[in-house]
């Protein structure tokens, strides 16, 4: 495991394309949402004996989003009857202490900049979708807050501050004892990870997996701008040692070219993947679920990117 300086999006992309993996994704089909787009989905998760996907649902010309929970029926994903909906963007799910943890991004008028929006992350908990209740709210202006239950029962919190601390978006980490400790004050104490992003680039964690050897496999994104304010987002992973709080090197595991061509919300978002979630399969592969170009939802089967992390001893042991 080599550690070093930050590596650019372009360097990581060049390394990824040299692998010539030849995997190609497929589009998920949704029904029951009229003319709205469904994108920035979670990976499927179990609820009430059914596999469920949470998705961001909105009109193409709007950012006013609703999170809807879908089940698969006759090859299409349709809204789950009786499930709640939330006025949020970019849903995520995990399980901690046997509870379902759900969250998403809430947008609201910027308190200082007229006509602009700000955002915050909202968290809910419950035994299932139908009894989710709010329990925490992240700092204003912070997306990509993610939780993971650690081997000692504590909770790892990945953060993504921006601005004076964090620049365009940098990953931080802090451990808390219980969900009750998920407060703005504690989130803001998170230590920034070193050597991850160049100052002009950014990224964040999207989903965290506890691996067999106690390391964490982090699924996230790395992003950059190009001429004309075009955004380029790539799905990436890296290993993380939660005791030493050290992150290993990142690698890209999927890019927009790995999926069928399709529409984009805006021209500047053509080359965008949102890493929604990853399901590890018993045959050594993994299925990655992504939002594509802020307009569609796709999936792709790839070699399990976390398998090699489980073959190394935890650092410092």
Q: For the domain that residue 162 is a member of, what is the CATH number? A: 2.115.10.20
The CA distance from 33 to 36, in Å, is: 6
Q: For 181-221, write each residue's pLDDT tens digit.
A: 999 999 999 999 998 999 999 999 999 999 999 999 999 99
In a domain, 316, yes or no: no
Residue 221 maps to a domain: yes
As given in the structure block, the two tokens for residue 286 are 């993994």
Cβ(179)–Cβ(156) under 8 Å? no
pLDDT tens figures, 65-74: 999 999 999 9
Give domain status of residue 1, yes or no: no
Q: Of 30, 42, 52, whose CA–CA distance to 130 is shortest? A: 52
- pTM for this structure? 0.96
Average pLDDT for residues 112-117, to the nearest whole number? 80
**What is the mean pLDDT of the segment spanning 78-86?**
97
Residue 315: pLDDT above 70?
no
- Tally the domains of the chain: 1
Mean pLDDT of 135-162: 96
Q: How confident is the model at residue 114 (pLDDT cuts 50, 70, 90)?
A: confident
In a domain? residue 131 = yes
- Integer-rounded Cα radius of gyration of the chain: 18
Residues 204 and 39: their CA atoms lie apart, in Å, by 18
d(CA 182, CA 31): 36
Task: Give the pLDDT score at 5.
Answer: 76
Write out the residue range of the structural domain in which residue 75 sits.
Answer: 9-311
Kind and range of the H or E element at 15?
A: helix 9-18
84-100 confidence digits (pLDDT tens)? 999 999 999 999 999 99
């Amino acid at each position: 495991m080599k550690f070093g300086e930050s590596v650019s999006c372009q360097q990581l992309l060049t390394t990824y394309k040299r692998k010539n993996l030849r995997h190609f994704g497929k589009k998920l089909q949704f029904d029951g949402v009229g003319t709205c787009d469904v994108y920035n989905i979670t990976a499927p998760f179990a609820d009430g004996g059914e596999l469920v996907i949470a998705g961001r649902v909105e009109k193409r010309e709007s950012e006013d989003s609703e999170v809807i929970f879908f089940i698969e029926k006759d090859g299409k994903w349709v809204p789950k009857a009786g499930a709640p909906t939330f006025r949020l963007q970019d849903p995520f799910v995990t399980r901690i202490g046997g509870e379902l943890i759900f969250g998403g991004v809430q947008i609201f008028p910027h308190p200082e900049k007229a006509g602009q929006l700000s955002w915050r992350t909202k968290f809910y908990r419950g035994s299932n979708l139908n009894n989710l209740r709010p329990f925490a709210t992240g700092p204003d202006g912070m997306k990509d807050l993610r939780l993971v239950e650690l081997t000692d029962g504590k909770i790892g919190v990945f953060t993504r501050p921006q601005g004076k601390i964090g620049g365009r978006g940098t990953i931080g980490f802090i451990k808390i004892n219980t969900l009750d400790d998920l407060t703005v004050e504690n989130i803001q104490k998170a230590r920034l990870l070193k050597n991850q992003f160049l100052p002009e680039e950014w990224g964040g964690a999207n989903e965290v997996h506890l691996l067999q050897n106690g390391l964490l496999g982090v699924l996230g994104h790395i992003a950059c701008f190009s001429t004309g304010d075009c955004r380029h987002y790539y799905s990436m992973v890296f290993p993380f040692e939660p005791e030493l709080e050290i992150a290993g090197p990142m690698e890209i595991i999927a890019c927009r070219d790995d999926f069928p061509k399709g529409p984009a919300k805006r021209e500047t978002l053509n080359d965008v993947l949102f890493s929604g979630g990853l399901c590890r399969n018993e045959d050594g592969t993994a299925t990655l679920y992504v939002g594509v170009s802020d307009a569609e939802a796709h999936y792709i089967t790839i070699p399990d990117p976390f398998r090699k992390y489980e073959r190394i001893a935890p650092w410092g042991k």
